[in-house]
Amino acid sequence: MTLSSCFDSGDSTTDEEAEEVAYRAEKAERDKIKAKVAELKAEKKKLEASIKELKSASGKEEELAKTEVEVLSDLEETRGYVAKVDALAAELDGSLAAWREATRTSFKGVQLPEITTIDGTKYLSVTLNGVTDETIIIEHSGGMETIPILQLPVGLRKNVIHEPTVLAEQTF
C-alpha cells in the first residue's frame, strides 16, 4: 500500500480547475450585474430628465392659461369694438343712402347747356331726369339718353355723387 499525501499533485489540478470555473461564473455574474446597474442608471437619468421637463411644462401650462385668459379678454373687447363699428357703419350707410337719394333727386330737372362725355360725345340743351349708382338719364336736343356715369367728366361724376370717383380722389 502506498501512502499518499493530502497534497497530492493530481488532486490539486482538479481543484484549481474547479476554482477557475467558479471564478469565471462569478465574474460573468458580476459583469451582468454591472451592465444591469449601468442600464438602470441610464434609465434613472432619463426619468429624472422627464420629471424635470414635466415640472417645467407644468409651470408653462399655468403661464399659458394666464395668457389664454388675457387673449380671450382682448378678443371679447375687440369683438365688442367690431360690433360697435359695424353698427356705426350701418347707421352711416343708412344716413348716406338717404342723403345720396335726396341729393340725386335734387338734380332732377336741372338744365345744363351741354354735356361732353369722356369719349367726346356732345349733348346740347340737357335736362337731368334721374341719377342712379351707375347711370345718368338725360333729355337733350336729340331726345333721351341713358349715359354710364363713368362716361361723364370727373367734375360731373363728383356732383352726382358717384362714390368710387369721390373715394378715389379722397385717397390721394
For 124-162, give the DSSP string. EEEEEEEE-SSEEEEEETTEEEEEEGGGS-HHHHHHTT-
Q: How confident is the model at residue 148 (pLDDT cuts 50, 70, 90)?
A: very high
* 76 & 92 share domain: yes
Distance CA 164, CA 152 (A): 13
Q: Which of 131, 130, 128 is nearest to 113 (CA)?
A: 128
* 69 & 132 share domain: no
Q: How confident is the model at residue 168 (pLDDT cuts 50, 70, 90)?
A: low
* 45 & 123 share domain: no
* 92 & 121 share domain: no
127 bridge partner residues = 111, 139
Expressed as residue numbers, the domain containing 47 is: 14-106
In a domain, 2, yes or no: no
- Domains in the chain, number: 2
pTM comes to: 0.45
Looking up cell 465574474 gives 27
In a domain, 72, yes or no: yes
Is 80 exceeded by the pLDDT of residue 6?
no
Q: Which of 146, 108, 103 is nearest to 127 (CA)?
A: 108
In a domain, 4, yes or no: no
Residue 117, number of CB atoms within 10 A of its CB: 16
